[in-house]
Structure formats: C-alpha cells, structure tokens
Structure 1
Amino acid sequence: MFRYAEVLVDVANRRLDQSYHYFIPDNLSVKIGMRVLVFLQNRKVQGLVVNVTHDLPEGLENVKLKPVSEIVDDGSLVPPELIELAHWLAQTTICSIAQSLHTVWPLLKGKIDEWVILIASIEDSDVQAQKWLNPEAFQAITVLNRARRKAISLKIFLKRADISGETLDKLLQQGWIKKEARFVSPYEAGSSQKIVDKQDDLLPGNRVNDLCFSRCGRPYKLTLEQTTAVSSVLKALEEGSSQTILLHGVTGSGKTDVYRELIAQVLDQGGDAILLVPEISLTSQVAQYFETLFGEQVIIMHSGIRPKEKMKAWEDILAGRKRIVIGARSAVFAPLPNLRLIILDEEHDNAYKQDENPKYHARDVARKRMEQRKGVVLLGSATPSLEAYAAAQSGRIRMLTMSSRIGTSVLPPVEIVDMRKELQTGNRSMFSLLLQQKLQERMEKGEQTMLFLNRRGYSTFVICRECGYVVSCPNCDISLTYHTQGQAMRCHYCNHHELPPHACPNCGSRYIRFFGQGTQRVEEELQSLLPEVPILRLDFDTTRSNEAHNQILGKFRRQEASILVGTQMMAKGLDFPNVTLVGVIAADQTLNMPDFRARERTFQLLTQVAGRAGRSVKPGEVVIQTYSPTDDAIVRAAHHDYKGFFWEEIGYRKERKYPPYTHIIRVLLLHDKEDRVIKGANDLGACLLQGMQDPEFGNTELDILGPSPAVLPRLKNQWRWQISVKGTRQDLLRAFLHRGIQRFFQSPASNGIVLNVEVNPLSM
C-alpha cells in the first residue's frame, strides 16, 4: 500500500494552482485518477490524485503532511492519458490546472456541502422522551429518520426541521446527529432530457433517406476521388504513427461519404472514432445520417446535454457500448477506450475555438489525443483555414483533394452585383434587379431559394439624424439592434432590451430613425415583394427552442416554403436538392470588420453559402450583392478559386507578420471598475516589460502590443483592457507570458482582476 498521494486541488486560483502531497491513512485505498477530499488552508476541497508513492520529493521529508480526508468515489477513475491531457491543456492555453481538469473530465464538477447524519435510533428511549421534553428536537430527528440513508444536506435539514441554532447544537452535543462535509455532484440531480434528439421523420429529398444502408453491407459506391481519400487515410492508420491529414474537398464532393466509410473500417478493425461538427444544431442531423448504418454504437455529445445524461453517456463510452461519438467542440474529450480516428468537419469554422478558459481549439486537442494514441486526425473543409492549408503546403501535414462534385452536379456559376450601380439606376431596395428577376424565375419553376445575410434583427442600429446619437446598451459599449419581434431594441451580447424612443434621448429631436438591415427586415421586405410566397427564417431569434432548428429545416425540406432567409447557420452542412438559387444580400458586412482575418472569413462564408445551390440534378446559380465588387476575396469566391485566394492572402500575412508566420497571445483583463482594470493592465504591461530583461528572452523577437482598451471596452458591465504579445516561437511566447502573469499576481494591482488568456485568437 502506498504511503503518499500527490493531489491536484480543484481551486481555480493561480496562487494555489499546483499539486500538493498528503499522506494516505491506512483505511483508504487511494489510486491514481481518484477524486478525493483534502484540506487546503483549513478548508476542505476536492482534488484529483495524479500520483501515489512510497517516497516524498526532496525537501518534503521533514514536513508534517495532512491526511487524505476521504475518497469521493472509487468507481470513477480518470484515465492517466486524460490527466496528461489536462496538464498539456493548462500549459498550452495558460490557464489553471483546475479549469483544464473540468474541461477534460466534466464529471469532476461539484461542490463541498455540509450534511447532517442521524446516529441515534429513533426507537431509543432517550430519543422518544424528547417528544415531551423537547418536541422541536424530536421533530428534527424525525425529519432525518425519514430521509434517504438517514442523511440530508444541512441547508435542507434546517429548512425542513425548522429548528433553532441552539437546538441544532444540543443535538450535536448529545451525539444523536453529526455533521460531515460531502462532495455533491450535479450529475446526481434528475433529468429527463434525451441524449439524442431525433427528427420526427426522415423527410423526402433528404440524402439520408435516398441512400439505403445495412450493417452487413454498404451498397453505396464511392467515386475515384473518394476511394483514393479513404485508401490514403487507412494507409496512414496502418503506419501506426500520429498524423494529421487535410481533406480539401469542394462543396458537394461527398466528404461525409468518406467519413462514413473510414469510420466503418475503423470499427471493423476494433477501433473507435470521434466526428466533430461546428455547431450543436448540426449534431442530430449528422448523427441520424450515421445511425442508419451504425445503429446504437453512435452517441451524441455536446455541452447542451444535461449532467445526468452526460454521466450515463460517459459510462456507456467507457464500457465500450458506444464507439462513435458525434458532437460539437467538447466531444473531442470523449474517453473512448480504443480511439483511433478524430474527424473535424468544416475544420475552418470558428466554433471549434472555446470562448471561455481554457481557450482551446478542438483541432489542437485532437492532434494531442492522436499523438497519445498514434492515430489520425482528419481535417475536412471546402475552405480550409489558412493555417491548415499552409501546413499542408509546407509538408507539415498531408493533404488529399477532391475537386469535383459527386454525381452529375457541378459548382454553380456566380454573378456579382455592384450595389452602387443599383443606387445610380434608382433601385433603393435591398434586392438588386437581377436577384428580383431570378427570384421570380424560381417561383415559376417551383424551385427553392436561400438568401443569406449574416446579421439578425430588423435594423442594426437606431440613430438621431440631428445630433448623431446612437442608442446603445447601458451594460456594453455596443449599439442596440431593433427587432420587430416584440417591438424592442436588444443587445446581442447581454440581451438587455428596451423600447425604441420616439424622440432622441440626447437632444429631443423626433428625427430618430432605424438604419442597417438584418434578417427580419429581409424577410419583411421579401414578403412585400412576393406577397403570395411562403418564407422561412433561420437565425438565433427563430431557433431559441431545442426543436426549432430541425422544425424550420424540416418544413423547408418538405418544400412548405419557397425561400429560406438566414444567417451563417444555414451555410453549414445543409443539402436541399430543390435549391437552385442562393443570394447573398450584403457581402460587405464581414469584409469590413477591423480584423486581419476579415477577408478569409468573407471568402469562406461566401464559398460555403454558394455551395448550397445546385447540389442535385438541377443546376444552381448564385448572386452576390456588394459595394466592393472588385475585392479579391469576393472575386475569388465567385470563381470558387481557393488556391488563388490562399496565395494572395498568405502573401499579405507574411508581409505584415500575421499568423501563420507569427504567433499571438492576447490577455484580456476584466473588472467592474474602469480605474481598476486600467491600473491592472498597466501593471501587467510593466511586468511583461520587466520580463524582457530576463536572459532567456532578451535576444528573442517579441513584440508587446498595448495595454489598450478592447474593441468592446465594456461588456456585460465588465470593463475590458487587453495586452497582446507577438513572436515567432510559440513555446517562448507561452513561457514569457506565464512568467509575466506570475509576477503580476504577486502585486496588489491583480486583486479582483479576471484574466482571459487566448493563444492565437481567431479574432482581434
């Protein structure tokens, strides 16, 4: 039996962010991966055992160690590789180990709570005598006696028994009850939510319904490009070394068929697989596609699943009952025992980056996991991220290409409309004359249209024409968006809402008007243009309920509506055979964002949304409306020319020393008082400048940008400042910043400051 345990304490505090040693009492059998309760600075906390040993590290031999208090559960051990993954995640994202542990193994979540336990028997004569001597005490004992296992949370006990503190003390002194600290997990709470949300039925025209599968046979036939891609990945798996492969396939080239065949082969060989999709809303329809072949071996995992269901799902995964995990970003941590393949569909999508600490990218985590397992990461996209494509061009990862659509369908022709000329001809509508004409043609043919605008709401801001006052959110430095639904102005960050003013709050003028356009306004003006045509809208406002997303898409697939208006939610993974026209209302909205990735995002969005047209036997067309018709990102997207766009954009990045030629780590400082966050930002800046004098960083090319206010200086009543560090070597950048943050937390200016650290942020 081991004598000592090294325990990572579950405290998200950088000053205590380390492991501690405790001695193991003789009555406890402690193993690596167990959750235990230990005392840290006179309070009981949860911890994870990461090592057990007979000997203490040097310097601790004469230190009096505290004992491990108790084992939380002995039936749920965190696998050693996931403990290693948590350490790696904390190091690479520069967050606390506690935060990374909760991310890697979410079953750790819970809290220490005080419980009351009944020791005496209610049948004892002394207890029975309390009926007359102290009815309040007897009532309290009765409450405990009725409780499950004769134990109950102290808070619940005090509420149900309705006793005074004096009576509680007397019961404790008499030895009839005792208090005990217990770990309470949210996974013990009840839940009725189903893990897999299926659509009511497979709908006509759905490719899932069109293809027939069986477990023993797969009657579909792969194209030559698909067969080559599958063979190449299988060969990489046979090599038994960690590899990353980029599958660059145009929209409609059948990447999903490749995923399906690869997963079937991996399962036949005794392995497990993870398939990641960018958004939770896509998981059920993708899972349905795979369930037709793999049945109950498929399980959905994402952050929307309730705790109790997640615990059951993880038990099934660890037991080998579920071998294919399909889900959004967090599914990358699924503890499959024989994991061999991780696929990221639409790998370029920003949704794969976590917004909260630890700010990990699912692509990086997938690579680390396959490094541990000697497996393959497959990155699939029609518009790969510049980082992934550059890595393929330099030979750091392999690339497979599928340049043709499956079947007889071809990539749709794209026409660019200069909206400046539309204004000159007197057309002040948001729809160009060309788009109006093509909409009418689709109605006459009985075909469907998708219209894209990446802005929800009716008007994007409300402004006074007299003084220029813009109605803004009182909690965030952002203008309010007007929504006709509810006739209110809303903040898309904190959800503050208020009624639109009849007069300017600043100068009293009645010339206060709505400007800009959102999907609600597109829907309204489209209904005026085509009053008899049924229209659906797909955006965050129309999909707030769990089933709304599937219901809207189901109606459109059944052709109950001729036009679907939506945001980028409809640019991913949708396949409607009757859609022959796609219109982009305003391509400039993403193009003119103050971010070095703006042109890349614009190209990706336009290419992806254009790819929704003509995916079956009927040919498609695309109309892009813009005020920047000659911009390279728009022109290249119109020609489906990814290579041309890549070489132009990569030259721009190299010239200005942007990723992938450099790495950036951004630190966002938050506090509810502006002066405190400014002082903290300046103090952190000084700590970083001090670090430049350290010998190991003195000759390194490092640039410190800031401190400066964030693009949104105030969000949800939190003031925000930022500092960025830029350099060519990511390992040195991390070490430099980590040391600077350690210095910062030793100063009084750090009190109350929240730090959000992001390595290679997707948006500046």
Structure 2
Amino acid sequence: MFASVIVDVPSKSVNQVFDYRIPEGMQDIVKVGHRVLVPFGRRTIQGYVMDINDTADFDPARIKPIARTLDIEPVLTEEMIVIAKYLAEYYVDQYISVIETILPAALKANYKKIIRLVSDDREAAQALSSLGFSKEAETRRLTAEQLSVLRPHLKSGALAEETVMSQHTRKKTALGVYSLKVPEPNLGRAKKQVELLERIDMSSEPVLVRDLSEEGYSNAMVNALYKKGLIDKVDVEVERDPYSGRVFEYDRPKVLNEEQQHAYDEITSSMDAETAETFLLHGITGSGKTEVYLQVIQKVLEEGRTAIMLVPEIALTPQMVNRFKMRFGDDVAVLHSALSAGEKYDEWRKIKEGRARVSVGARSSVFAPFEDVGAIIIDEEHETTYKQGDRPMYHAAEVAKFRSRRHRCPLILGTATPSLETYARSEKGVYRRLELTERAGTKVLPEVQIVDMSEEHRTGNTSIISTQLHDAIQDRIEKGEQTVLLLNRRGYSNFQICQSCGHVPMCPNCDISLTYHKSNNSLLCHYCGYESAVSRQCDNCAGTDVTFRGTGTEKVEEILRDMFGTDVVRMDNDTTRRKGMHEKLLNHFERDEIPILLGTQMIAKGLDYPKVTLVGVLNADTMLNLPDFRANEKTFQLLTQVSGRAGRHELSGEVLFQTYNPSHYAIELARHNDYRSFYEKEMAFRRMARYSPFYFHVLFTISSEDVRKCLDATSHIHGTLAGAMSGQSIIVGPSPSPIERINRQHRFQILLKYKREPALLDILTALDEEYHEKYKKEGISLKIDVNPLVIM
C-alpha cells in the first residue's frame, strides 16, 4: 500500500503529493489525515497523508517508506482535506500553508539541526566536551570557531549533522498518584496518612497531587506513602481550560417575538429539509439575533448534531462565550487567538474527540473539526476580520458555504448592516433574507444627533469634546449611567511637527509618520513596529519649537480624566495586547461601574451593558478619508453598529456623531438607521465605478526593496494580464500603493475587475509560481488577493 503525502516544506516546487510506501506493520494504522514522519532528501520531516492507494505510478522498489506516525488518530478529517485542496486552488496558495491554517499551531513541527556523536570516537567526544557539550550540539548556536573545531570529525563521520523535529506544544501533564491496594497496610498511629490512603483508595482514577494539596494533604505525606510502597506516581494528562474555576448560571431560553419566531421557523424548516440554504438575518441592533442563534443551536443539539458560531472580534468573545456557556455549559469549546497555543490545542481536541458540540470563536474556528455540522452562524457578517490578511488569504464565509453544502445544513449570516455583496445576493434570491425590524421587548432605538465640529470651532471650542457631548457625559455621570466613546485612532498624538521648518519625523522603513505614545514617551510606527525616542529638538533644523498634532485614544483618556474627574476604561491595541485584557477591561467597566469606556472600533459591536445610555463618536469622518471604494460603506456600518450600544435595556439611549461632514449621506443615513436608502445610493456609485458587487476583484501587490525591480515586475504582470484578459475585464494600474513603502519594501499594485474569465485561475497560478521563484532569487514578492476587502 502507498500513501500520498503533502510534506511540510513551504515551497511551490514541492506543492504536490509524494508517494511513500506504507510498511507492513503500519498498514492497519496509517489512515488518511494522519501526521507522519517521512524521509525527504537528506532529512526526515513531517507530512500529512492525503490519500491511500494499492498501487503507485513509480517503481515500488524506489519508493521510500514512511518512518512512523505521529498520532493515534488522524488529525485531519476527510472534509478538512477536501477544504484544503479547495482553498489552495481558489486562493492560489500552497496546500501545506492551508493545512497549517486549518490545524492548531500546537501541531506545527519545529525543526532544528544538531551535530551528534554517532560513534565511539574518543577524539570527537573530547572535541564536543571541550566546547561544553556532551553528545550533541545545536548547529545554529555554534560560533564559526566552534564549527571549525568540529568540522574534521564531521568529515570523518564520527559526528553527523541531523535535523530533528519536535511538536510546537505538547499535551499538558500533572503529577498524580494511585493506590497499589496493599492488603492491611501498616501505618501505625499515622492517622493522617491512613486518611490520605483511604482518600486515594476511593478513586478509580489517579488523583492529582495538586488536588490533594488543596484538600489539606501535604506533599510530605504523599511521599511518605510512596516510600512505604503503598501508592505509585504517574503523569496524568490535564486540559488547559481558559474558563476553569468560572461558574456559569443557567440562562433559560427567552420567549421569541413574532419576527424572531418567524426567523427561527424558517431556519429550522430548512434544517429539517436538510438543505444547504444561506440566510441573511438582517436585524437592527438589539433586535435579539443572538437569542435566535441560541435557540437554533439548541435544536441542532437536540438532534444530535453540532454547531459552529463565528464572531468577528476577540473583544466580542467574552460576552458571547458567557451567553453560550450559560445556555450550553461544557458543550461549548472556545477558539480564538487570545488563547495560548496550549489552550487552543486542548479546546480543539475537545471538539475532535466529541467532548464539545458547539464552537465559539473568531475566523479560524470555521475549521472546527466537527463530523456532523447542523448549523453554521456568522455574526456581524460584514466585518473585514473574517478575511485573513496573510497567506492563505481565505474568507471564513467561503469556508462556511463549502461546509454548509457538504453537511446540508443552514448557514446564517447575521448583521444589522450587511455588506453590499450579501444584501445584493438576498435581493436576487441567492440568499433568503429574514428581517428583524424591532428591538426585542419594548426597547426602541436611541435618538441620534449630529454635531457639526466646524460650528463648534467657530464658537471658540477647540476641544475634541463638543459642548453638547460634554453636557451629555456630565448628565450621565450625575445619573450613575455609563457612556461609550469611539475614536478609531490609537496613540497620544498623530504626529510630531517642527513649527519652524515643518519637519515631521517619519518611519525610516515605511512611508508613514510616526505616532506619539505618551505612556512610554516614544514615536511608534503602527505598520512595522519601529520605535524612536522623542526628541525636543528638530532633526532637520535643530530648532526647539516642536509640538504634537492630532489626537488619539491615549490623549483623549487624559482629557476625559481632567475634564470630568472620573475613571476611564481605555480599550485599544495598546491596552489589550496582553492575554485576557479584553475581558478584564470590560469586566472592570461593568462590575466597577466606571462611567466612561473609550476605545477604537473593537468596542463598536456586540457589547451589551444595561447602564450604557450614551454613545459618542468623536470623529465620524475618520474612515471617509480612506483611499478605498468601501470607505462609505465602512463608515455607515461602524456608526450604525456603535449606535446600537446605547439604550439596549430598560434605560433609553442617546447617540452623538461629531463630524466635519454633517451632510454626508453615510453619516446622515446612519443617523436614521436607514440601511435600505444607503444600499440603493451606494449601489448606484458602485455600478457607475464598476466595483463589487457588479464585478469580482483580484488585487496584485508587488513589493521589493529595489524600486526598479518592483517597477519592472509590475510592468510585466500588467502586460501578462492585458494579453490574457477579455475586453470585458478592467485593469486598474499599475500604481503606487496608498502607503508606498512598508518595512523597507516599495509597493505597487494592480486591481483586476472582471465578471467571467475562465482562464484566470491558470494565469494566477502561473504568476504565483513565477514570482515565488523570483522572490527566492531577487527578493521580488507578489501577493495575490482574490476578492479583497481592503484596496490599500
């Protein structure tokens, strides 16, 4: 028997399956989806079995055997293998890259080269010993001088260089003990030891020593029983549970209103008919979409099937996890990037082993290894975070559609502000649209007002807080209510400027100004991470008249504390970088009743707090100025979403948009929560400019440290496309990217708009392969983004 194996080598030249012979002793063990160790060239590396056949296309005598398997059960299901092939072809990427995206990082192999003693040669052993090593040394840690000492012994064969592999994360174990059931143990008057032995005797499984310690039995007592031969020690596998010690009170299903019940009935009818139907659950903020999700999943579980729930932001996960844990308890597994590699691995194993039937998490949890999926739900489906920015540049919704078809189950896309593409498909009947037009219960949408900041400045108020917003915040503080403020710009100030010569410190690696962060008194690049100390002297003219311009969340936090004399919770990438900080900050805001929550767009959706009655958007224009055709859509979505955080419970809400463009239709229609009018107006512009959803897009981004090579490559790609595309397609560019240089790489881009190009996939594949080789030889990189969400 022969196995077709994808090897763990991220190279286009080996982006194919290789045949390996399955040794006789392994033929009943090796299955499709297994991780295996295989010889590849001079080394042994990890691979994945994609298929098993009785015959091979090559001479069986020349086919190398599999060295060994790495798992008892396959890590890849048959479905995941099919998905990997589909995504690799659709998004023009390598199979191994997609497979490593599908699986948890814990299963990724770590390789290192070592120099090992392979004979009894005394001189070779002494050479290693003289360098401070016993029998082996890691090659990359050796200096040139140390290597020169070992080189003669490598040539003689007494030492050999080998590549060894280890797993990124292992199963976690803890020390346990079990009784040896010795009849009539003689413990004399040691009553505590007798009690401890009886405690261990009672358990049919090994007892963790740490649990015994919590019960009052010391390690010394455990060791005493061990020395007397009454118990034995063993390593016990334990799971890393990010929610251990948390108690979730059961949340009873709520009575659905008429619109919710209609949506539930339509979805469950499709479920009963086992049809792969896609639903757009278009519900205004606070309309009870989550309760519909929960009750649909309840039905799925009652039928013995499983469910996948996706949320767009880590910030949303704590509240969503709480609701799901309160409803479904230990049936819920959580998968998102804020967990450690070990925690994600253990949550993934809970799903793989059938100990969890519901997954809740961000983008990558769409790959949850369930065998029988009954429903897939994507909350806030319009969010760009469902599209991966790095290779493989997949969209979670594409994977969800694929799995929906395979499992013949409904896919539910829930949002208050659908992407234009999704709403257009619902208009054409490709998706079935279900409307929730009223807030659950008796609650109503908050009143939204627009504050013209130009008028504020004319009246002498130059603060980022308008008079109207100031009075509204003060009123909420006095009433003991809470305020959410949105400013989609982190840092203290946007940039530093010399008022004598106009010089602005720029990042040496990127064409972007450095942002001032007061907390660590530094200038920081938000693209490559470059950091520079703040100087009060201009680098250009040596003048001292330097100042800071613009306002970020760090500065606004300071302004709010001084203005209102109150605590402020700030949530942005700077304050939530450490593990668990999202949940910690939100709990602090709710539990300690902090009057103000200030944050970037991570606070704009999903948050649901009873005392939040005021939402203020400090600069509603931020996204309107982006050089992207989706700028208006993103503005409308963000403003509508953040408006929905106010007045979600008993207290009524109020929303204030501060803007310099009070008449812009995206802002004005967000004020009235009028999605339909926005959709029609925006679609007219999209049709005129020939953008999505009227055309499909492919974005080519070419980058190199050498700008001339970058220009030559851009010209070549443009010529290739121009010669191969039909007259119906449109090629925009080549042109410099909006940010022309990032991390020392000059960047140019080409945007292809097309409706139907049968040969496109072959052309994309050929270009990708060509520039994969050029990257290795000349450092020219080509990134192909199929159906991009950001044209930047």
What TM-score do you get using the length of structure 1 for normalisation?
Answer: 0.87
Moved more, 594-603 or 75-84: 75-84
Determine if contact 2:522/2:532 at 8 Å carries over to the other structure: yes
**In the alignment, which residue of structure 2 is the partner of 1:75?**
72
Residue 316 in 1 paired to residue 343 in 2?
no
Q: CA deviation at 1:143?
A: 6.1
1:704 counterpart (731, 735, 739): 731
Q: Quick one: distance in 1 between partners of 2:701 and 2:513? A: 22
1:566 counterpart (596, 599, 621): 599
Q: 1:734 is aligned with what amino acid?
A: L
**In the alignment, which residue of structure 1 is the partner of 2:417?**
383
Residue 727 in 1 paired to residue 725 in 2?
no
1:603-622: per-residue Cα shift (whole Å, max 9, x none)? 01111111111111111111
1:280-325: per-residue Cα shift (whole Å, max 9, x none)? 2332332122112211111111234333333333332122101111
Determine if contact 1:683/1:744 at 8 Å carries over to the other structure: no
Q: Quick one: distance in 2 between partners of 1:133 and 1:667? A: 54
1:588 counterpart (616, 621, 628): 621
Q: CA deviation at 1:686?
A: 3.4
Q: 2:717 is aligned with what amino acid?
A: L
Cα distance, 1:451–1:753 mapped onto 2, change above 3 Å: same
Q: 1:31 is aligned with what amino acid?
A: K
**In the alignment, which residue of structure 2 is the partner of 1:98?**
96
**In the alignment, which residue of structure 2 is the partner of 1:85?**
83
Q: CA deviation at 1:138?
A: 10
Alignment of 1:270-419 (within 5 A): 270-419=304-453
1:104-134: per-residue Cα shift (whole Å, max 9, x none)? 23465214456799999xxxxxx8x98x998
**In the alignment, which residue of structure 2 is the partner of 1:656?**
689
Determine if contact 2:128/2:150 at 8 Å carries over to the other structure: no
Q: Quick one: distance in 1 between partners of 2:142 and 2:550? A: 56
Determine if contact 1:195/1:309 at 8 Å carries over to the other structure: yes
Residue 50 in 1 paired to residue 84 in 2?
no
Q: Quick one: distance in 2 between partners of 1:113 and 1:421? A: 64
1:340-362: per-residue Cα shift (whole Å, max 9, x none)? 21111111111111110001111
Q: Quick one: distance in 1 between partners of 2:759 and 2:433? A: 29
Q: CA deviation at 1:265?
A: 0.9
**In the alignment, which residue of structure 1 is the partner of 2:227?**
none
Secondary structure at the aligned position of 1:187 is classed as coil
1:450 counterpart (455, 472, 484): 484
Cα distance, 1:308–1:663 mapped onto 2, change above 3 Å: same
Determine if contact 2:43/2:163 at 8 Å carries over to the other structure: no
**In the alignment, which residue of structure 2 is the partner of 1:551?**
584
Q: State, as a whole percentage, how many aligned pairs show the same letter.
A: 38
Q: Quick one: distance in 1 between partners of 2:118 and 2:539? A: 66
**In the alignment, which residue of structure 2 is the partner of 1:147?**
none
Cα distance, 1:688–1:533 mapped onto 2, change above 3 Å: same
Alignment of 1:62-141 (within 5 A): 65-77=62-74, 78-106=76-104, 108-113=107-112
Residue 542 in 1 paired to residue 578 in 2?
no
Residue 184 in 1 paired to residue 166 in 2?
yes
Q: Quick one: distance in 2 between partners of 1:455 and 1:548? A: 19
Q: CA deviation at 1:562?
A: 1.2
Q: 1:717 is aligned with what amino acid?
A: R
Cα distance, 1:444–1:314 mapped onto 2, change above 3 Å: closer
Q: Quick one: distance in 1 between partners of 2:393 and 2:297? A: 29
Determine if contact 1:199/1:550 at 8 Å carries over to the other structure: no
Q: Quick one: distance in 2 between partners of 1:642 and 1:191? A: 53
1:153-173: per-residue Cα shift (whole Å, max 9, x none)? 8669999xx997489769976
Determine if contact 1:418/1:625 at 8 Å carries over to the other structure: yes
2:14 counterpart (13, 16, 20): 16
Q: 1:49 is aligned with what amino acid?
A: V
Determine if contact 1:282/1:573 at 8 Å carries over to the other structure: yes
Q: Quick one: distance in 2 between partners of 1:429 and 1:304? A: 36
Determine if contact 2:627/2:738 at 8 Å carries over to the other structure: no
RMSD: 3.3
Cα distance, 1:115–1:471 mapped onto 2, change above 3 Å: closer
1:84-103: per-residue Cα shift (whole Å, max 9, x none)? 10011111111111211111
2:710 counterpart (670, 674, 677): 677
Alignment of 1:239-250 (within 5 A): 239-250=273-284
Q: CA deviation at 1:656?
A: 0.8
Q: Quick one: distance in 2 between partners of 1:285 and 1:477? A: 38
Moved more, 43-52 or 647-656: 43-52
**In the alignment, which residue of structure 1 is the partner of 2:219?**
none
Secondary structure at the aligned position of 1:599 is classed as helix
Alignment of 1:389-538 (within 5 A): 389-530=423-564, 532-538=565-571
Q: Quick one: distance in 1 between partners of 2:124 and 2:773? A: 58
Q: CA deviation at 1:541?
A: 1.6
Determine if contact 2:446/2:652 at 8 Å carries over to the other structure: yes
What TM-score do you get using the length of structure 2 for normalisation?
Answer: 0.84
Return 5+ residue gaps in structure 2 as ranges: 175-237
Cα distance, 1:516–1:395 mapped onto 2, change above 3 Å: same
Determine if contact 1:582/1:610 at 8 Å carries over to the other structure: yes
Determine if contact 2:700/2:750 at 8 Å carries over to the other structure: yes
Q: Quick one: distance in 1 between partners of 2:61 and 2:782? A: 34
Moved more, 312-321 or 644-653: 312-321
